[in-house]
């Protein structure tokens, strides 16, 4: 290497990444209006809506990154296949990611990082999930038997392999919302954590009612007019109940947890939903060249994971760990935000996370902090509704939140927003946007 | 004034085929002045999804270009099965189709459909006729289809021909999607389209009608071709034409080669060997 040459990487500064907009299809209760739509159908609809809104037809964007949590094995290249079926230029590269409910936000982080590093100038991040068009697998015994038969070299070996299959193994395996290592559903995990933190039924129902009221009000004032494109005759999230109230929610029977202490109902837990969302990210220069105005800047992000398998920590508590690390790196306190988007996997998830940040013991023993992070101004929380009202097609939630928060910050004329999303496997993905 | 037959629901095509098989038809040289109409038709989303799956089309917010044909086709059959229609229904072959899309139609729009026959004329191998289908929503014409059917019969070697465009631009195109069409292809498409024409179902039902085996529905291979071109075409202001040259026998493997121009595409659907040209598809649109 010539002595005078300076490695280019050393001179290259990270670039600011703008959130330019987003698009999603309305989220719909599983086995409802999108029952026949595949993940690829819905993601394509979301991408094509974005393309139409931002005039990107025939354009090659830097990269499209998306994923699905419930994914058919045939969809191994889901995002690239979606690009090829969309109005983007077919030379647009794409790849899939999967980080459970953190997928959509993680996709945005990956795109933002490549933009910041100068590897791409623009990108689309998103996610899709169908709880209706779910993959059904053959049982493990049947799969092993069929594979052995396929490997067999003689008819006798093949018959022997096929004979090993028991009739009960012919029953297909339908995917379940269960953690592989604990056998507990996400709701059961959450109910244990909620009980540990003494989260009351009333507080959960209040949060759920607020989510519906906020989402209804946001639709009412046209907030979603340039964030949502109708699909298959649906123009609004079908799980939204504008007329619900804490009284109505209080009448529901608990579905998770046991006995008198059970507090989690279908009303304060997210329903299974189908939907897709995407966001458009780019540099200032790319935005200007496309006559687009940045809504907000994608500032920083952090992920965390907790050891929940043997009960050391609650399965959905990882964001409580990710946020203080993100705050420390950016020199911010928990109170330095104008808006908080804490994904409502369950109302109890939001409430335990907030309780943990207020708890001196937790902050000292678990987070290693001198003082608790403290409480937040609840009027700044999920101001346009969140997953309890909108629904939660797992991988599509991140895109919904990034686009909504960016627009909210832009409408407010500036400010800072925090995103916190919990994910299966004891993981959490969090990010900061600024405008 | 034409006689207008207004249908409340889509007729069952299987009944029409059965009664057509039993009916002896007088061959004439005039078309009855009849229109068949349905008003306020809403798209059945599960039915649309099944069609999209069979034809490998995306289930999007707007209808696939070929889908309104599916809604109009039963009405075409009512026209052609009606008294005084001068050509036999069974054994008639779809030789050419033209679709004009004025604007993309949303899945939840209510559609008014009008169908009639026109231009009965000689073909070099028999007699052909155009079935015109117009789809409008709230008085706005959004989709228009012209399906040309040939009834083989007395030959007219001097009849004017409707020639497909020259495939010369395709000479340099070597690649393109290839599809294996199984022997159940005709039955699968019949299930989602309602077109139970026996020539598509099974060799045993196709042979009495003069085919050595079952053949694919032309509108099926055309829909698949349109699906694979989909994002490369203008969604609105599009005219799409297809000339069905030689039937696609089932089972078989076919490939699609396409030449792209700024405001048009030209494709040929041919056997995998390239020996047989099954169809030519041309799409044009305004800039």
Which residues of A fall within a CB distance of 8 Å from B60? Answer: 41, 44-45, 48
Instruction: Please indicate if any CB of chain A lies within 8 Å of the CB of B107.
Output: yes
Q: Is A32 on the interface with B (CB under 8 A)?
A: no
Structure tokens given for A395: 């991988």
Name the one residue in this structure whose structure tokens are 């990270």.
A14
How many residues does the structure list for chain B?
287
According to the model, what pLDDT value does residue A2 have? 47
Q: What's the rounded Cα separation, in Å, for the pair A78 and A86?
A: 12
Rounded to whole angstroms, the Cα distance separating A327 from A321 reads: 11
pLDDT tens for residues B223-262?
999 999 999 999 889 999 999 999 999 999 999 999 999 9
Span A186-222+298-434 CATH architecture: 3-Layer(aba) Sandwich (3.40)
- B49 CB near a chain A CB, below 8 Å? yes
Evaluate the omega torsion of the peptide bond into residue B251 and state whether it is cis, within 30 degrees of 0: yes
B11-69 pLDDT per residue, tens = 888 888 887 777 766 667 889 999 999 999 999 999 999 999 999 999 999 999 999 99
Q: Tell me which of B48, B51, B59 to substitute to probe the interface with A (most A C-beta atoms closer than 10 Å).
A: B59
Distance from CA of A36 to the nearest CA of B (A): 6
- CA–centroid distance for A248 within its chain: 28
Per the structure block, which two tokens stand in for A98? 């999967």
Residue A170 confidence class, pLDDT cut points 50, 70, 90:
confident
A229 contacts chain B (CB < 8 A) = yes
Strands (DSSP E) contained in A85-121 are 94-96
Q: How far apart, in whole angstroms, are the C-alpha atoms of residue B141 and residue B139?
A: 6
Interface check for B122 against chain A (CB to CB < 8 A): the answer is no
Chain B CB contacts of A36 under 8 Å are: 45-46, 49-50, 53, 59
Closest to A194 (Cα-Cα) out of A353, A374, A46:
A353
Question: Of A101, A212, A214, A343, which one is the catalytic site residue?
Answer: A101
* A 156-175 near B (Cβ less than 8 A): none
Give pLDDT, residue B247: 93
CA distance A46 to A234: 13
A44 closest CA partner among B17, B52, B88, B149: B52
Planar angle of CA A424, A425, A430, nearest 5 degrees: 65
Residue B193 belongs to domain spanning: 3-285
- Nearest of A407, A400, A419 to residue A127 by alpha carbon: A400
Task: Provide the pLDDT for residue A340.
Answer: 98
A363 is catalytic: no
Handedness of CA A349, A353, A355, A360 (dihedral sign): positive
Cβ separation of B106 and A85 shorter than 8 Å?
Answer: no
Range A317-322 average pLDDT: 98
Instruction: Give yes or no for a contact between A255 and A112, defined as CB atoms under 8 angstroms apart.
Output: no
Length of chain A, in residues: 435
Query: From the CA of B65, how many Å to the nearest CA of chain A?
Result: 15
| CATH number for the domain harbouring residue B262 | 3.10.129.10
Yes or no, beta carbons of B45 and A233 under 8 Å apart: yes
Interface of B with A in 194-233 (CB under 8 A): 230-232
| pLDDT tens-digit readout, B53-89 | 999 999 999 999 999 999 999 999 999 988 889 888 7
| Dihedral angle computed from the Cα positions of residues B57, B59, B61 and B62, in that order, rounded to the nearest 10 degrees | 40
B139 touches chain A (CB under 8 A): no
Q: Whole-angstrom Cα distance, residue B233 to residue B284?
A: 8
pLDDT tier at B153, thresholds 50, 70, 90: confident
Q: Which chain A positions have a beta carbon within 8 Å of B54's beta carbon? A: none
Q: Which tens digits make up the pLDDT trace of A211-255?
A: 999 999 999 999 999 999 999 999 999 999 999 999 999 999 999
- Tokens representing B47 are 């039915």
- Residue A392: active-site member: yes
Secondary element (H or E) of residue A235 = none
Residue of B nearest to A86 (CA): B231
Say whether residue B45 is in contact with chain A using an 8 A CB cutoff. yes
Dihedral pair phi/psi, residue B256, rounded to 5°: -120, 125
Model confidence band, residue A1 (pLDDT cutoffs 50, 70, 90): very low
CB A203 within 8 A of CB A194: no
From chain B, pick out residues whose CB is under 8 angstroms from the CB of A40.
Answer: 58
E strand or H helix at A24: strand A18-24
Closest-CA distance, B126 to chain A, in angstroms, reads 41
What number of C-beta contacts closer than 8 Å exist between A and B? 48
**Whole-Å CA distances, A17 to A91, A108, A295, B194:** 23, 11, 11, 52
A231, A23 in Cβ contact below 8 A?
Answer: no
Distance CA A59, CA A50 (A): 12
- With contact defined as beta carbons under 8 Å apart, do A342 and A351 qualify? no
Question: Mind listing the pLDDT tens digit for each residue in A115-144?
Answer: 999 999 999 999 999 998 887 777 888 888
* Alpha-carbon span A422 to A100, nearest angstrom: 9
Task: Find out whether B270 and B194 touch, Cβ atoms under 8 Å.
Answer: no
Q: Write down the pLDDT at residue A311.
A: 85
* CB contact at 8 A, B257 and B175: yes
- Beta carbons of A112 and A73 less than 8 angstroms apart: no
Task: Pick the more confident residue, A44 or B125.
Answer: A44
Q: Which residue of A has its CA nearest to B49?
A: A36
Residue A393 CB neighbour total at 10 angstroms:
35
**Nearest to residue B224, comparing CAs of B242, B201, B197?**
B242
Name chain B contacts of A25, Cβ cutoff 8 Å: 61
Q: Mind listing the pLDDT tens digit for each residue in A365-382?
A: 999 999 999 999 999 999
A238 in contact with B, Cβ within 8 Å? no
pLDDT (tens digit per residue) in B87-121? 887 778 899 999 999 999 999 999 999 999 999 99
The DSSP result for chain B, as a single string, is --EEEE-SS---HHHHHHHHHH------S----EEEEEEEE---HHHHHHHHHHTT----SB--TTHHHHHHHHHHHHHHHSTT--S-STT-EEEEEEEEESSPPBTT--EEEEEEEEEEEEETTEEEEEEEEEEEETTEEEEEEEEEEEEE-S--TTS---PPPP-GGGTT-----EEEE-TTHHHHHHHHH----GGGT-HHHHGGGT-SS-B--HHHHHHHHHHHHGGGS-SSSEEEEEEE-S--BSSEEEEEEEEEETTEEEEEEEETTS--EEEEEEEEE--
pTM: 0.91
Q: Could B46 and A35 be called an inter-chain contact, meaning their C-beta atoms sit closer than 8 Å? A: yes
- C-alpha span between A398 and A277 (Å, rounded): 8
- Contacts A35 to B, Cβ<8 Å: 46
Under a CB-based contact definition with an 8 Å cutoff, are residues B69 and B10 in contact?
no
Side-chain-facing half-sphere of A388: CA atoms under 13 Å: 32
A266: its two tokens: 């279908």
Q: How far is CA A161 from the centre of its chain?
A: 42
Q: Which of these, A28, A58, A106, A11, lies nearest to A421 by C-alpha position?
A: A106
Q: How far is A432 from chain B (nearest CA, A)?
A: 33
CA distance B48 to chain A (A): 9
Phi/psi of residue A92, nearest 5 degrees = -80, 120
pLDDT attached to residue A144: 85
Which ipTM was obtained for this model?
0.87
Active site residue A101: yes
Question: Residue A429's Cα: distance from chain center in Å?
Answer: 9
């Amino acid at each position: 290497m010539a002595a005078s040459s300076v490695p280019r990487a050393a001179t290259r500064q990270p670039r600011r990444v703008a959130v330019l907009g987003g698009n999603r299809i309305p989220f719909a209760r599983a086995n409802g209006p999108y029952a026949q739509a595949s993940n690829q159908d819905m993601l394509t609809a979301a991408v094509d809506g974005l393309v139409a809104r931002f005039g990107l037809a025939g354009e090659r964007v830097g990269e499209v990154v998306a994923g699905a949590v419930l994914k058919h094995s045939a969809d191994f290249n889901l995002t690239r296949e979606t690009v090829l079926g969309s109005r983007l230029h077919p030379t647009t590269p794409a790849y899939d990611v999967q980080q459970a409910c953190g997928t959509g936000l993680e996709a945005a982080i990956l795109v933002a990082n490549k933009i910041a590093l100068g590897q791409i100038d623009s990108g689309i991040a998103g996610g899709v999930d169908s709880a209706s068009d779910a993959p059904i697998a053959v049982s493990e015994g049947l799969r092993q038997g069929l594979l052995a038969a396929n490997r067999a070299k003689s008819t006798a070996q093949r018959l022997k392999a096929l004979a090993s299959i028991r009739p009960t193994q012919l029953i297909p395996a339908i995917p379940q919302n269960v953690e592989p290592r604990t056998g507990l559903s996400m709701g059961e995990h959450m109910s244990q954590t909620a009980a540990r933190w003494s989260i009351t039924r009333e507080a959960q129902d209040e949060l759920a009612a607020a989510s519906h009221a906020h989402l209804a009000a946001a639709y009412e004032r046209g907030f979603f007019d340039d964030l949502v494109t109708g699909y298959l005759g649906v123009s609004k999230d079908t799980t939204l109940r504008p007329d619900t109230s804490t009284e109505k929610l209080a009448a529901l029977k608990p579905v998770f947890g046991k006995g008198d202490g059970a507090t989690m109902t279908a009303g304060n837990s997210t329903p299974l939903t189908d939907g897709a969302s995407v966001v458009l990210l780019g540099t200032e220069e790319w935005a200007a060249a496309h006559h687009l105005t940045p809504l907000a800047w994608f500032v920083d992000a952090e992920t965390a994971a907790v050891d929940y398998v043997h009960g050391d920590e609650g399965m959905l508590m990882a964001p409580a760990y990710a946020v203080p690390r993100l705050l420390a790196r950016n020199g911010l306190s928990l109170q330095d935000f104008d808006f908080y988007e804490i994904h409502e996997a369950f109302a109890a998830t939001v409430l335990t996370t907030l309780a943990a940040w207020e708890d001196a013991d937790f902050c000292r023993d678990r987070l290693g902090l001198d003082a608790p992070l403290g409480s937040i101004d609840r009027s700044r929380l999920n101001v346009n509704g969140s997953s309890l009202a909108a629904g939660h097609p797992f991988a599509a939630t991140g895109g919904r939140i990034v686009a909504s928060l960016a627009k909210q910050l832009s409408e407010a004329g500036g400010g800072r927003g925090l995103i916190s999303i919990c994910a299966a496997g004891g993981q959490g993905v969090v990010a900061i946007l600024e405008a | 004034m034409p006689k207008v037959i207004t249908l409340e629901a889509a007729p069952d095509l299987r009944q029409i085929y059965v009664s057509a098989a039993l009916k002896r038809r007088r061959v004439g040289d005039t078309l009855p002045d009849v229109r068949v109409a349905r008003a306020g038709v809403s798209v059945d989303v599960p039915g649309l999804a099944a069609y999209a799956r069979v034809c490998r089309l995306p289930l999007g917010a707007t209808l696939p270009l070929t889908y309104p044909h599916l809604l109009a086709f039963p009405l075409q059959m009512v026209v052609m099965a009606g008294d005084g229609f001068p050509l036999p229904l069974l054994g008639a072959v779809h030789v050419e189709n033209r679709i004009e899309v004025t604007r993309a139609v949303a899945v939840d729009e209510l559609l008014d459909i009008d169908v009639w026959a026109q231009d009965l004329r000689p073909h070099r191998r028999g007699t052909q006729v155009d079935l015109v289908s117009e789809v409008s929503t709230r008085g706005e014409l959004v989709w228009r289809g012209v399906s040309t059917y040939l009834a083989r019969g007395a030959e007219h070697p001097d009849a004017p021909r409707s020639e497909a465009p020259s495939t010369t631009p395709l000479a340099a195109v070597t690649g393109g999607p290839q599809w294996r069409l199984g022997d159940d292809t005709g039955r699968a498409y019949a299930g989602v389209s309602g077109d139970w024409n026996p020539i598509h179902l099974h060799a045993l039902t196709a042979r009495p009608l003069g085919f050595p085996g079952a053949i694919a529905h032309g509108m099926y291979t055309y829909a698949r071709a349109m699906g694979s071109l989909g994002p490369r075409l203008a969604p609105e202001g599009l005219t799409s034409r297809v000339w069905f040259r030689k039937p696609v026998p089932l089972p078989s493997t076919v490939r699609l080669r396409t030449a792209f121009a700024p405001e048009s595409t030209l494709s040929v659907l041919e056997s995998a060997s390239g020996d047989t040209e099954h169809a030519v598809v041309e799409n044009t649109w305004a800039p």
